[in-house]
Amino acid sequence: MKELLKNILKGKVVIMGVGNLLRGDDGLGCMIVDRLKGNVRALCLDAGSTPESYVGKIAKDNADTVLIIDAAYLDRSPGDYEILEKNNLRGSGLSTHDISPGVFFEYLLQETHADVYMLAVQPEKVGFGEEMSEKIKKAISEISAILMDILSLDK
């Protein structure tokens, strides 16, 4: 995973955390972005559950690469994660949110012309008021450490 991320995070990078902290594991994207802010060479945006509201800011920032971090149904074990591109988004059931990832990717690509990727993490529980699961807390720590290493302010 580290080598793949190292190869795709090129140029001016924007990392967008998507999710709802009130829905258990769904808040993982926002938590990762909060850990990264000020610690990496990237614009870090906590988009909450309305990522489409940040497309103008990303376009204005002239991003070369956008990495969206979000909980997504991958048919894998909770805490497992993978990098997805537009061509391997598997239908509208992928996301834990209302907007289809495919529609959002297309809009983001049209408006920014950046390379867009999703770092998708399989959630365990996303019910309203749920606590975040231990497996997701572990994935948050792993992903944050990888991104801090790749995008270190010292590099």
Which pair of tokens denotes residue 146? Answer: 């990888």
- DSSP designation for 131: P
pLDDT in tens, the chain (155 residues): 899 999 999 999 999 999 999 999 999 999 999 999 999 999 999 998 888 888 888 888 899 999 999 998 888 999 999 998 876 664 434 455 555 666 777 778 888 888 999 999 999 998 898 999 999 999 999 999 999 999 998 86
CATH number for position 29: 3.40.50.1450
Residue the block writes with tokens 């231990």: 134
Position 91 scores a pLDDT of 46
Backbone phi and psi for residue 154, each to the nearest 5 degrees, phi listed first: -80, -10
Q: Is 83 part of any domain?
A: yes
- DSSP designation for 41: S
Burial status of residue 137 (CB atoms within 10 A of its CB: 0-12, 13-18, 19 or more): middle
Give the separation between CA 8 and CA 59, rounded to whole angstroms.
Answer: 18
Q: Is 43 part of any domain?
A: yes
What is the longest distance spanned by two Cα atoms in the chain? 40
Position 87 scores a pLDDT of 65
Position 38 scores a pLDDT of 94
Domain coverage including residue 90: 2-150
Q: Is 30 part of any domain?
A: yes
Question: CB 65: neighbour CB atoms within 10 A?
Answer: 18
Q: Chain centroid to CA 138: how far? A: 16
**E strand or H helix that includes residue 64:** none
CA angle in degrees (0–180, nearest 5) for 49-55-58: 120
Q: Is 155 part of any domain?
A: no
**How many domains are there within the chain?**
1
